[in-house]
Structure 1
Amino acid sequence: MNSQYTAVPPPSEPTESAEPEVFPARVPWGSVVAFFVIACGLAWLAALPLWLRGHGMADPLLRLFAAIMMYTPAIAALIVVFFVQRPRPTRIGEYLGLWPLRPAKRTIWLAVIAIFGMSAIIVAGVFLAAAFGQIKLDLIHFSGFRQSIAAALNATPGAEHSTGGPALPVGVIVTVQIIAIPFAAIIPNALLTIGEELGWRGWLLPTLRPLGTWPALLVTGAIWGFWHTPLILLGYNFGLTNWYGVLLMIAASMILGILIGWLRLRTASVWPCVFAHGAANAAGGFAGLVVAAGDHPSPIAAGPLGWITWIVMAVVIGILLVTGQFTKQPRLRRRSTPANVIEF
């Protein structure tokens, strides 16, 4: 018998196809190549005065030109987004991970975890290096730091209580320096690392994301490491002035880039990456605070980007992998808007 009622299908739910993708479905290789050439070219241009002046790592303006260089990835990303990439991203602020912070609570908490977690990784690397016999520590008298203060003041070791010495005991200075690490990760370091992260994790990582999570993370890290070439060949980070130093920097950047890149994928925001990068730089001088006088550890092994710190990073990456954290990547899309409207 026929029913007098006709079944009415439930209202259709919006499908993913109804929402325009914020990120490309395929890698725009032309834009990636343009970004690489511009970022690396500008990096060499920024570092050129250091090469022309001939002082190398002893150049008093090293920090200034290195800071200028840190903004070149952001400049490259903006040039590519506005003038090269086609179709141009419809929401540039969201594409670069600047805005919105969705959900804000997760983004903020992961930014805090990034600051303290990255600092802890660098510090743990120093103690692991000591366990491997690659660095000698003096956690009581801080003799190495005491010696560096004396050298900076053009005095002799133990002269810190003289007229020309520091007003505070060395132990107090070391404590203040350690407490200051998370604050330095924000100010001033984040003001500089935003220049790098806007390029690496802001633009490049999500642009390469169609390759898959791991290829995107590793390729981004490799390009990030190679970009350091103008400074590495001057002896920066590893004390090497050859391509072996560049290869070490690429390897270090790839493993560190996995951790920082995970923050980008997990939060869809570049800000936790900015603070993680800032924390890594802020904690980079920790070994100098606790090293024993007369010890000269190899930066290849015991430096903040040395192979021993890679072990600590690998352990953290392994924990994230086992707990499935790399599969938790929020949808990076918003409500549908006209295709010709660009939101910031």
Structure 2
Amino acid sequence: MPHDFPSSAAPAVLPASPTRAPGLLEAVLTILGYFILQLGFGMGFKLLADALARWFPDGVPDAPDRIIVVVMLTVLASAWLTIHVVVRRWGSLTRSGGVLGLGFTEPAGRFIAAGTVLGLVAPLLGGLLTQWLAGDHAVSQTVSEIADKAHFGMRVALVPVAVLAGPLVEEVLFRGALLARLRHLTGDGWAIGISGVLFGAVHLPDLGWLWYAVPNLVLVGIFCAWLRVRSGSIWPSYIAHAANNGLAVMAWFSASTGS
């Protein structure tokens, strides 16, 4: 029997299934809209945080910690609004594990285990691949650079956002809306490959446009898409994505910070 997913991610009562699932263009525009929302919310929250810092200099955290708060609010606001829109548009297809469904269905236990294993293996293989491609060049994501400068408590506060909220909205977009339409148009094999490449490519700005860091994310995207197709559920791919991010954020706690 399908699980009821959290109320923060979807309304309690889903609308009737649309006459047809939203098309590929809408799926792509929804992904684009998510990143536009991040830009808009990020700018708005930063302006507010900077204003509060000027008005209450003794009551607002310093810049690194303040930026962490901005990042958390930006991701949470963008993720909630995006997931809400996608679920409303897909209607009852949200709980379908079929080709055009989003996959909010209960998976078999073996796929939960596979998602956990692949989520831990992907960053190890991807790290070796990135190291081989990058050579002596350093690779870092914007959020990692911010976290490295923040205090320990702020890093802890950022972990649920990076490990749970971020992967959830990206799975809904890439292994839900996008993969569903690609499978319908191209078949499973091409859909897995194309969605994996697009998943890696959209992270280029956060990677400082370092192309040699993208294959690692493409590998994660392919693993997650394969899990979604094989299991008929989005949850194994979400677990893999969360495990992958969990390993990545462990590096935040090895960086030195001020007291």
Instruction: Using structure 1 for the length normalisation, give the TM-score.
Output: 0.45
d(CA) in 1 for partners of 2:76, 2:190: 24
Q: How far apart, CA to CA, are the structure 2 residues paired with 1:36 and 1:60?
A: 28
Change (3 A) 1:289 1:78: closer
* Residue aligning to 2:85: 79
| 1:255 paired to 2:216 | no
Q: Percent identity?
A: 19
Residue 115 of structure 1: aligned partner: 116
Are residue 219 (structure 1) and residue 189 (structure 2) matched?
no
Q: Residues of 2 paired with 1:30 and 1:264: CA distance?
A: 21
Instruction: Give the alignment partner of residue 178 of structure 2, picking from 170, 195, 204.
Output: 204
Whether 1:267 and 2:231 are equivalent positions in the alignment is: yes
Q: Would the alpha carbon gap of residues 257 and 25 (structure 1) be closer, same or farther in structure 2, given more than 3 Å must change?
A: farther
Rounded to whole Å, the distance in 2 between the matches of 1:202 and 1:74 is 15
Among candidates 89, 96, 103, match of residue 97 of structure 1: 103
Offset of residue 257 of structure 1 = 0.5
Change (3 A) 1:43 1:229: farther
How much does 1:39 deviate? 1.6
Report the AA paired with residue 119 of structure 1. Answer: L
**Is 208-217 or 197-206 further displaced after alignment?**
208-217
CA distance, structure 1, for counterparts of residue 120 and residue 26 of structure 2 = 34
How far off its partner does 1:115 sit? Answer: 1.9
Distance 2:200 2:42 in 1: 15
The answer as to 2:65 corresponding to 1:60 is yes
CA contact (8 A) 2:75 2:166 kept: no
Q: Indicate if the aligned counterparts of 2:27 and 2:178 stay in contact, CA closer than 8 A.
A: yes
Deviations 1:185-231 (A, max 9, x none): 9998335422321222122211221222243234333443454466x
Larger radius of gyration: 1
- By how many angstroms is 1:264 displaced? 0.5
Name the structure where helix makes up a greater proportion of residues: 2
- Measured after TM superposition, the shift of residue 45 of structure 1 is 1.7
Pick closer, same or farther for the CA change 1:260–1:61 going to 2, 3 Å.
farther
**Distance in 2 between the 1:121 and 1:66 partners?**
25
Q: Distance in 2 between matches of 1:93 and 1:35?
A: 19
CA-based RMSD of the aligned residues comes to 4.5
Unaligned runs of 5+ in 1: 1-21, 136-147, 154-184, 233-237, 294-344
Separation in 2, partners of 1:219, 1:70: 27
- Alpha-carbon distance in structure 1 between the residues aligned to 2:214 and 2:232: 25
Size of the aligned set, in residue pairs, is 202
Tell me the amino acid that sits aligned with residue 116 of structure 1: V
